[in-house]
Amino acid sequence: MKTVIITGSSGLIGGEAVEFFAAKAEKVIGIDNNLRKYFFGENGDTTWNRSRLEEKHDNFEVKNIDIRNYDELEVLFKEHSSDIDLIVHTAAQPSHDWAANEPITDFTVNANGTLNLLELNRLHAPQAVFIFTSTNKVYGDTPNRLPLVELEDRWEIAEDHKYFKNGIDELMSIDHTKHSLFGASKVAADVLVQEYGRYFNMKTGVFRGGCLTGPNHSGAQLHGFLSYLMRCGITGDHYTVFGYKGKQVRDNIHSFDLVNMFWHFYQNPRPGEVYNAGGGRHANCSMLEAIKAIEKITGNKMNYSYSETNRIGDHIWWISDLSKFKSHYPDWNWTYNLEQTLEEMYNSMLARA
């Protein structure tokens, strides 16, 4: 590989992609202007991760460009047009709560920014593979209409339902549902990536993530569930559980396993394809189960309270079905389970403290 462009290169998935592809490409160019700090304050600041990556990898450099700025992006794409092999687009406004405060910011970052990158890919680097980190929020609250059963510590889907064994597949409708404004902006970007693949026959791929996690996440209250929860478990800071009795279920995929999915797709791209990407039945937990696991690892009692008010459009139960991706790329599999991810996250936070 010659050149890889990674947007959001100081974030969780972008940073993991830098680590992964710096060992495979001659040059890795990050695009990151630390908007996460604007979204989430000091807890969201990714400067530490940018510095760590720059010091570690001689073939990595960062461009301080806002993906909404087409002209600045075009200068970069023109300069490297013949050398770009892969574009990994992870930059986003990632919180459905935050989006309601500044809908225009949310939409222009998530939708317009993605359109800018796709069009520059088409015009200046049509040979490149384009990978987009979408979200399970494109399905809106449709999953909440599934037949769910309340258990002691979690909600679960009825055993006789087709989604019980492996989770939710890509055939679930993304229409006629409440997405949150964040979900709507990601739907727009998601469909654009599909369309550029199918209409222009570009090598685009969509990965609809569940909870993406790992040791280098700058978790905040509004985004980064496991990372922020672990930080509160270590520091004793207060954590609020919003709605559904704390039994809402999320699957969790380690950032390395997701980026490894990107690698497999890059080697044999299928234009315009869509994949659900999460921990599946391999790695999932409810809020209550996550709290118990973190208390066990840290040895601390969590300082948390419960609010009856759930987040708008939030999922009660989400487990991703990765059968489609695994059928297309049978050599891929998870390498981290939930316990391993939490242990790594705990050790990393202690080392940075």
Between vectors from CA 127 to CA 204 and to CA 169, what angle results, nearest 5°?
Answer: 15
In tens, the pLDDT along 11-27 reads 999 999 999 999 999 99
Range of the domain at 262: 3-352
Alpha helices by DSSP H, 149-270: 181-200, 225-235, 255-267
| Nearest-angstrom CA–CA distance, 28 and 5 | 6
Task: Tell me what pLDDT residue 310 has.
Answer: 87
Confidence of residue 97 (pLDDT cuts 50, 70, 90): confident
Task: Tell me what pLDDT residue 172 has.
Answer: 98
In tens, the pLDDT along 176-228 reads 999 999 999 999 999 999 999 999 999 999 999 989 999 887 766 656 678 88
- β-strand 249-254 against 284-286: which pairing, if any? antiparallel
Length of the chain: 353
Token digits for 283?
């790695």
Total tally of structural domains belonging to the chain? 1
Q: What is the mean pLDDT of the chain?
A: 95
CATH code of the domain containing 230: 3.40.50.720
H or E element, residue 211: strand 211-213
Q: What is the pTM of this model?
A: 0.95
At residue 147, φ and ψ (nearest 5 deg) are -75, 95
Residues 6+ apart with CB under 8 A from 191: none
Instruction: Provide, rounded to the nearest whole percent, the portion of the chain with pLDDT above 90.
Output: 90
> pLDDT at residue 353 above 90?
no
